[in-house]
Amino acid sequence: MATKYEKMLMKSPLTITPPPRRLGLFTERHEMADSPFSPNLPSSAGCRTPRRETQGDRFIPSRSAMDLDVAYFNLKREAKENSNANVEVASPMKEEYRRKLAEKLFPDSGALQSPKILAFKRKPPPSLQVKEQTALEFLPTDARVSSPSKFLYRHIPPAPERVLDAPELVDDYYLNLLDWSCKNVVAVALGTTVYLWHADTGAIHQLMSTSVVDDYITSVAWAPDGNHIALGFNSTEIQLWDATHLTQMRRLKGHSARVGSLAWNNTTLSSGGRDSKIINHDVRIRDHMTSQLSGHNQEVCGLKWSLSGQQLASGGNDNLLHVWDAAAISSQATTHYLHRFDAHQAAVKALAWCPFQSNLLASGGGTADRCIKFWNTQTGACINSIDTHSQVCALQWSQHQKEILSSHGFSQYQLCVWKYPSMVKMAELTGHTARVLHLAQSPDGTTVVSAAADETLRFWKVFGTPPSSKKTSGGLALRSINIR
Amino acid sequence: MGTAQLTRDVITLKGSAAIVSEFFCYAVNSILFQRGIYPTENFAKVKKYGLTMLICEDEKVKTFINTVTKQMGDWLETGSLERVVLVIASIASGEVLERWSFNIETDKEVTEKGVTREKPDKEIMTDIQGVMRQITSSVTFLPHLDEACTFDLLVYTPPDSKVPPLWGESDARLINNPQVVKLRSVDTKVHRVDAMVAFKYDG
């Protein structure tokens, strides 16, 4: 084959000497191996007939199909264009160099004279402050920041501080059988009996035991004063007990089904029952039923007063979350709620009001929902919703940090600590072997107790010591006690 | 932006000069804040360009920046401002660590014949916003300034321009082997400002 290029070469007056044979892959292959692409023209192209050896699998481009001189031109032109493009983004140094060079080489052309560089004579004062105190706190620092002091997550012990035996704990999602008083006493209802565990001393007392047939305790709630405790029963009544003297104070009737949830607001006790009613009782007066709220149509399993006592949140098996206004309740306007949230796809039992941000409510959904949702109860907006991939049984906010703890069911039965508001999972505490039904927090906010269907109570030091005070953990003796 | 335009979209030379010199003032303050040349408490927040801009409240720094930008405004009106460079150098070693360079192209027709241009105010504002945001985000790639630094403003003018009193000639204060990052540009149709930052290559 003789391409145009070969023909050109053949016409050339230069004597063409064959190039030295290169050893290598392509030596035998193509005598035209490097001729068009090197500026050195000598090639034996015209002299020899092309030898094409068919060798297995090597790709040999078909030269007859290519227009070599056009290709050569294109190649050279591209290279030139690239080098041109580079000139435009040259650094000032390069520009400076070029300029000085041009000055030297073409001293007469005025167009290349350098611009004058002027600087104001009175210079600005240097900053007297030490460098470290500057705006670095403001800015997202670059990757080379040395010590991530503030963002270091504190160490959360993965194992519980202690484990207590809790036999006969009823495995029912809709009950609320655990509470921790402000006097540092944990009350837990195991079947038909309520026990009090004093965290300071480790002593256990039995508060009461019901003897009615088929009756069991369905909810437990300490009064804000820490001395009285309200118990809800399957037999539809509510009993008020004095925990210091272990005596019964009062019986409150009103529900027509078991009382699954209780919540105190100073002297008002709100109770939610399987009859889907929420009844507010004033425990001081004889005619204790002050008002009744109807909004749910199935069991009311979650009931929590806000920390300010202005709003009451109630969650039911009908997947609804209602927020009631305290003022509306007291004025006997019973049925109208402040907000009705139906975003959850399952029963809403886990409810927790945020201690550091007012009007912020967190709610957790059951097996079909598995989400934790955050609500602004002033505007009624859902601020955030995260899927936790597991039934949410209980929620507890941290008193000292911006964190929230959630307890879950199948399949991990874990407790998750989330950073708020980023909802980054800080820790996962496993240990329970069945769904973690109830959570309660110590009055100092450092420990959380979880009660699970595996009939154990586990104490986790999940929230760190409060920054201001470092209390001794004297109350919690490290012994495993059998409550029996 | 009040003095900048007579009617809504018309840009005069004076107006454009005012816009650009104001832009420089805020850009310099922003860079001083972001790079930590002066401590955070020296800065006050001001609403400008639809963003919260920070202005240095230190008297001397304020006077310096205002004097320089005012002079820049005068130069812009005559079309004799070619480049403005903000140099950040270490106090201890005097070595230039960062060099923020704003190239200016002036439309010769406007300076010579006094015609006006048209560009919506909003577009210019968006351009300026873009550069300001880029300056703020530049902290993500600029190397950390470990030592105390000071800044200086250099102005490139044509060789035949008059040197005003209190201004002296300076060298370019370039960086050896810099990494250069080109930022967005602001175009008022009369003046076009291209921003870029050169910093020492951290091998």
Q: How far is CA A12 from the centre of its chain?
A: 77
pLDDT for residue A216: 93
Average pLDDT over residues A320-345: 82
Residue A5 lies in a domain: no
Residue A90 lies in a domain: no
Mutate: best of B167, B176, B177, partner A, most A CBs <10 A: B167
Total domains present in chain A: 1
- Identify residue A15 by its one-letter amino acid code: T
Total domains present in chain B: 1
- C-alpha to C-alpha distance for A141 and A134, rounded to whole angstroms: 12
- C-alpha to C-alpha distance for A27 and A33, rounded to whole angstroms: 8
Unique residue bearing structure tokens 């049925």: A335
> Of A333-337, B74-78, B147-151, which gets the smallest average pLDDT?
A333-337
A176 DSSP 8-state letter: B
The residue of chain A with its CA nearest to that of B71 is A120
Q: Are A160 and A141 a contacting pair, CB within 8 Å?
A: no
Tell me: the pLDDT tens digits for A408-464?
998 889 999 998 888 888 889 999 999 999 999 999 999 999 999 999 999 999 887
Question: DSSP of A1-59, one letter per residue?
Answer: ---HHHHHHHH-SSPPPPPPPPPSTTTTT-TTTTSTTSS-----TTTS-------TT--
Residue A135 lies in a domain: no
Radius of gyration of chain A (CA): 40
Mutate: best of A88, A98, A116, A142, partner B, most B CBs <10 A: A116
Decide if B144 and A144 are in contact by the 8 Å CB cutoff: yes
Min Cα separation B126/chain A (Å): 23
pLDDT for residue A426: 86
The residue of chain A with its CA nearest to that of B182 is A89
Tell me: the pLDDT tens digits for B8-23?
678 888 888 888 888 9
Residue numbers of the domain that contains A209: 158-465+476-482
Confidence of residue A69 (pLDDT cuts 50, 70, 90): confident
Residue ranges of B 52-111 with Cβ closer than 8 A to chain A = 58, 60-61, 64-65, 67-68, 71, 82-83, 85, 91, 99, 101
Flag whether pLDDT at B86 surpasses 80: yes
Strand partners, A184: none
Q: Provide the token pair at B15.
A: 């107006």
A63 DSSP 8-state letter: G
Mutate: best of A120, A123, A142, A145, partner B, most B CBs <10 A: A120
Chain A hits for B171, CB-CB cut-off 8 Å, are 117
Tell me: the pLDDT tens digits for A168-221?
999 999 999 999 999 999 999 999 999 999 999 999 999 999 988 889 999 999
Average pLDDT over residues A470-481: 43
Contact residues for B49 (Cβ-Cβ < 8 A; gap 6+): B26, B125, B128, B129, B132
Nearest to A117 among B143, B145, B154 (CB): B154
pLDDT for residue A257: 94
Residue A267 lies in a domain: yes
Tell me: the pLDDT tens digits for A368-392?
999 999 999 988 889 889 999 999 9
Chain B hits for A99, CB-CB cut-off 8 Å, are none
A152 DSSP 8-state letter: P
pLDDT for residue B202: 65
| Complex ipTM | 0.72
Contact with chain B for residue A124, Cβ under 8 A: yes
Contact with chain A for residue B177, Cβ under 8 A: yes
Residue A461 lies in a domain: yes
Residue A351: strand, helix, or coil: strand
Decide if B159 and A116 are in contact by the 8 Å CB cutoff: yes
Q: Provide the token pair at A62.
A: 């078909």
Contact with chain A for residue B201, Cβ under 8 A: no
Residue numbers of the domain that contains B115: 2-199
Residue A341 lies in a domain: yes
The residue of chain B with its CA nearest to that of A114 is B159
| CATH number of the domain that residue A436 is part of | 2.130.10.10
Nearest to A119 among B140, B150, B168 (CB): B168
Residue A116 lies in a domain: no
Flag whether pLDDT at A52 surpasses 90: no
Tell me: the pLDDT tens digits for B20-69?
888 999 999 988 888 888 888 888 888 888 888 888 888 888 888 888 88
| CATH number of the domain that residue B10 is part of | 3.30.900.10
Task: Outline where DSSP puts E strands in B43-160.
Answer: 43-48, 51-56, 83-90, 96-106, 117-118, 149-157
Burial of A427 (0-12, 13-18, 19+ CB in 10 A): buried
Chain B hits for A137, CB-CB cut-off 8 Å, are 40
Contact residues for B87 (Cβ-Cβ < 8 A; gap 6+): B96, B98, B99, B100, B151, B152, B153, B154, B173
Please tell me which residue, B113 or B3, carries the higher pLDDT value. Answer: B113
Nearest to A142 among B40, B42, B144 (CB): B144
Mutate: best of B43, B52, B155, B183, partner A, most A CBs <10 A: B155
Instruction: Report the greatest alpha carbon distance in chain A.
Output: 127
Average pLDDT over residues A272-293: 90
Q: Provide the token pair at A220.
A: 């437990």
Nearest to B38 among A93, A127, A138 (CB): A127
Most confidently modeled range among A133-137, A336-340, A467-471 = A336-340
